[in-house]
């Protein structure tokens, strides 16, 4: 992993201190205005403002100094934004909110949109994890299985970069699947449970991919257009099922 210089560590300190200072000030103002409720109410107020100022600060800074897709060269603007703004945002807001497991599924889409993800209708990340939401675009009615993980960043030794992951309408991502940077998945495709989809893989519409590394194992052939196996009763042991080769 690339080192974070002392200067950048100090800049991280400034960004987090401003964020914490604004949160404490707003909490203090509210505690004076609405003194009832005691410590629990003040803790709730603090958490609320930590979230609001974190999202507002992060999105505003990134609007001014965008984190563009691609490789991050040492000393580049992208490397600076990633190390100084994006990583602390992840450690102090994204991880506690998303990865704690406390975020109710019904709110997950709203929170991810606030963090920058583009999500279609009827798509709820729930207990999957979409890292670097700014680089995640998901269409309508996409099923994201429990603990599926999307990783748009590349961190391999000294190599760093962010590459968008694009998932079209009606895709199913199986439980525990891992989708790596730069992957595109076409309409109605299925990524099997536990699959690991390599960087920059292109999965075509209605294809079924499985395994580690993920390979195309067939296509969806359900007449209703639903993923294989979901549009008919479960097959008997010997019956052939939805994957057509
Ligand atoms: C990929 C999948 C759609 C295939 O289902 P299916 O059409 O009923 O097919 P079968 O279970 O009969 O398996 C067909 C072949 O795919 C293989 N296969 C199925 N699931 C697999 C998986 N997760 N990983 C690797 N191979 C898999 C089977 O071993 C079989 O191979 P074979 O013909 O060489 O024996 C299904 O197994 C799956 O992973 N669904 C994801 C469900 C999910 O997690 N949804 C999200 C919930 S929110």
Q: What predicted TM-score, i.e. pTM, was given to this entire model?
A: 0.88
Q: Whose CA is nearest to atom 1 of ligand 1?
A: 192
Q: Which atom of ligand 1 is nearest to the CA of 235?
A: 8
The reported pLDDT for the residue numbered 240 is: 41
CB 111 within 8 A of CB 95: no
The alpha carbon of 5 and the centre of ligand 1 are apart by a number of angstroms equal to 46
Q: How far apart are CA 25 and CA 105, in angstroms?
A: 31
Task: Report the helix count and the strand count for the chain, using DSSP H and E.
Answer: 5, 18
Domains in the chain, start-ordered, CATH in brackets?
1-100 (no CATH), 117-245 (2.160.10.10)
Mean pLDDT in each 10-residue stretch from start to end of the chain (245 residues)? 93 97 94 77 92 97 95 94 96 92 89 96 94 97 96 94 97 98 97 97 96 94 56 49 52
Which runs of E-coded beta strand occur in 19-128? 70-71, 118-119
Q: Which atom of ligand 1 is nearest to the CA of 176?
A: 44
Residue 170 beta carbon below 6 angstroms from any ligand 1 atom: no
Q: Which atom of ligand 1 is nearest to the CA of 243?
A: 7
The reported pLDDT for the residue numbered 241 is: 41
Residues 6 or more apart whose CB falls under 8 angstroms from that of 138 comprise 117, 118, 119, 120, 123, 130, 144, 166, 167, 171
The alpha carbon of 17 and the centre of ligand 1 are apart by a number of angstroms equal to 49
Q: Whose CA is nearest to atom 31 of ligand 1?
A: 217
Mutate to test the pocket of ligand 1, among 167, 174, 177, 211 (most ligand atoms within 8 A of CB): 174
Q: How far apart are CA 177 and CA 193, in angstroms?
A: 5
The alpha carbon of 192 and the centre of ligand 1 are apart by a number of angstroms equal to 6
Which two tokens mark 159?
A: 């190599």
Q: Whose CA is nearest to atom 47 of ligand 1?
A: 145
The reported pLDDT for the residue numbered 33 is: 79
Q: Which atom of ligand 1 is nearest to the CA of 194?
A: 23
The alpha carbon of 205 and the centre of ligand 1 are apart by a number of angstroms equal to 17
Judge if the upstream peptide bond of residue 168 is cis by omega within 30 degrees of 0: no
Residue 143 beta carbon below 6 angstroms from any ligand 1 atom: yes
Which two tokens mark 114?
A: 């606030």
Residue 113, number of CB atoms within 10 A of its CB: 12
Q: Which atom of ligand 1 is nearest to the CA of 144?
A: 48
């Amino acid at each position: 992993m690339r080192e974070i210089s002392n200067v950048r560590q100090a800049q991280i300190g400034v960004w987090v201190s401003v964020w914490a200072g604004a949160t404490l000030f707003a909490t203090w103002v509210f505690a004076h205005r609405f003194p009832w409720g005691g410590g629990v109410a003040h803790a709730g107020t603090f958490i609320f403002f930590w979230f609001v100022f974190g999202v507002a600060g992060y999105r505003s800074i990134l609007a001014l100094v965008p984190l563009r897709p691609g490789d991050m060269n040492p000393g580049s603007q992208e490397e600076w934004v990633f190390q100084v703004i994006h990583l602390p945002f992840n450690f102090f807001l994204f991880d506690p909110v998303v990865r704690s497991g406390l975020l109710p599924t019904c709110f997950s889409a709203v929170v991810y949109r606030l963090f920058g993800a583009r999500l279609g209708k009827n798509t709820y990340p729930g207990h999957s994890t979409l890292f670097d939401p700014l680089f995640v675009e998901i269409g309508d009615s996409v099923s994201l299985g429990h603990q599926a993980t999307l990783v748009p960043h590349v961190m391999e030794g000294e190599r760093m970069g962010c590459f968008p992951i694009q998932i079209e309408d009606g895709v199913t991502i199986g439980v525990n699947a891992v989708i790596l940077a730069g992957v595109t998945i076409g309409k109605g495709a299925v990524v099997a449970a536990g699959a690991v989809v390599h960087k920059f893989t292109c999965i075509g519409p209605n294809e079924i991919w499985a395994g580690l590394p993920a390979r195309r194992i067939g296509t969806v052939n359900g007449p209703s257009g639903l993923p294989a196996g979901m549009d008919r009763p479960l097959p008997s042991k010997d019956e052939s099922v939805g994957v057509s080769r």
